[in-house]
């Protein structure tokens, strides 16, 4: 309060597009968002977990006391969104019947499987990893979903970006001409702009992931998301990529 700061939390969020217009897959997409995003957002905005989680997880899901619910509700100033990709969502409730009794995970609980294919078509151009498909319109849909479900809170895109396939195998000059990354940011930012200007979504910040190449979880230094190339063999020397400009 004395420094007039703001407090938020960042979530990793995919957009889930129904595999088809059937009611069962439309519901699956919503349940997928409930288990991915609503698990954390609903208590903060509504004071409790999503109804679909209550219904499907049952007594294994903790309950909020009235004091806890009041404490957590409205406890942030902005919503941070780390968004890279989108997937189709399909109902797989039948999977429980195929697994041994007692087998429980997010897929058996939700009955939803996210995947990139609809027939022979992928949801977008394949990116550098199995979890990243390039789906710019998914960001716009996600922003509108947040607007409609959570009454248009202040949103900051805290991560958005891509690496490039086979980049580790390229010579340095080719690594710096990252045209796919340029197109990725252009297309995602265009959809974000439309969400703000045309749709009225309350987005007030955007951070590209990332400024520098860095350690990317299980991919280590082999996956490069930076707009600056880092030479790990030459005292971490930096080179600007074309996407910087």
- Domains of the chain by range and CATH? 8-244 (3.20.20.80)
CB neighbourhood size of 137 (10 A): 17
Per-residue pLDDT at 31 exceeds 80: yes
Tell me what the mean pLDDT of segment 223-244 comes to: 97
Q: What is the average per-residue pLDDT within 16-31?
A: 96
8 A C-beta contact, residue 80 and residue 11:
yes
How sure is the predictor about 187, in pLDDT bands with cuts at 50, 70 and 90?
very high
DSSP at 123: S
Percent residues over pLDDT 70 in the chain: 98
CB within 8 Å of 175: residues ≥ 6 apart: 167, 224, 229, 241
E strands along 77-207, which residues? Answer: 78-82, 86-91, 112-115, 117-118, 121-122, 125-126, 133-134, 155-159, 203-206
Phi then psi for residue 244, to 5 deg, are -60, -35
pLDDT reading at 171 higher than 80: yes
Burial code (b: 16+ CB inside 10 Å, e: under 16) for 43-72 equals bbbbbbbbebbeebbeeeeeeeeeeeeeeb
DSSP 198: T
For the chain, give the mean pLDDT. Answer: 95
- List, for residues 101-150, the tens digit of each pLDDT value: 767 888 889 999 999 999 999 999 999 999 999 999 999 999 999 999 99
* Tokens linked to 164: 């490039």
Please tell me the pTM assigned to this model.
Answer: 0.95
């Amino acid at each position: 309060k004395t420094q007039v700061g703001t407090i938020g939390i960042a979530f990793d969020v995919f957009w889930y597009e129904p595999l088809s217009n059937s009611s069962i897959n439309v519901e699956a997409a919503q349940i997928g968002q409930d288990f991915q995003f609503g698990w954390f957002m609903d208590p903060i905005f509504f004071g409790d977990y999503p109804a679909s989680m209550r219904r499907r997880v049952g007594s294994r899901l903790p309950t909020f006391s009235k004091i806890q619910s009041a404490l957590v509700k409205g406890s942030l100033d902005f919503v941070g969104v780390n968004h890279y990709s989108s997937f189709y969502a399909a109902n797989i409730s039948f999977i429980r019947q195929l697994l041994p009794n007692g087998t429980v995970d997010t897929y058996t609980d939700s009955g939803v499987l996210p995947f990139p294919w609809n027939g022979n078509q992928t949801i977008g151009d394949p990116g550098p990893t199995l979890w990243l498909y390039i789906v710019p319109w998914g960001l716009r849909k996600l922003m509108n979903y947040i607007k409609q479900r959570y009454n248009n809170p202040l949103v900051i895109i805290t991560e958005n970006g891509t690496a490039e396939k086979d980049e580790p195998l390229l010579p340095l000059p080719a690594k710096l001409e990252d045209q796919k990354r340029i197109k990725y940011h252009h297309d995602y930012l265009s959809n974000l702009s439309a969400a703000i200007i045309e749709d009225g979504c309350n987005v007030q910040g955007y951070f590209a992931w990332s400024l520098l190449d860095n350690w990317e979880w299980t991919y280590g230094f082999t996956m490069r998301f930076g707009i600056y190339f880092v030479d790990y063999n030459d005292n971490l020397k930096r080179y600007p990529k074309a996407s910087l400009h």
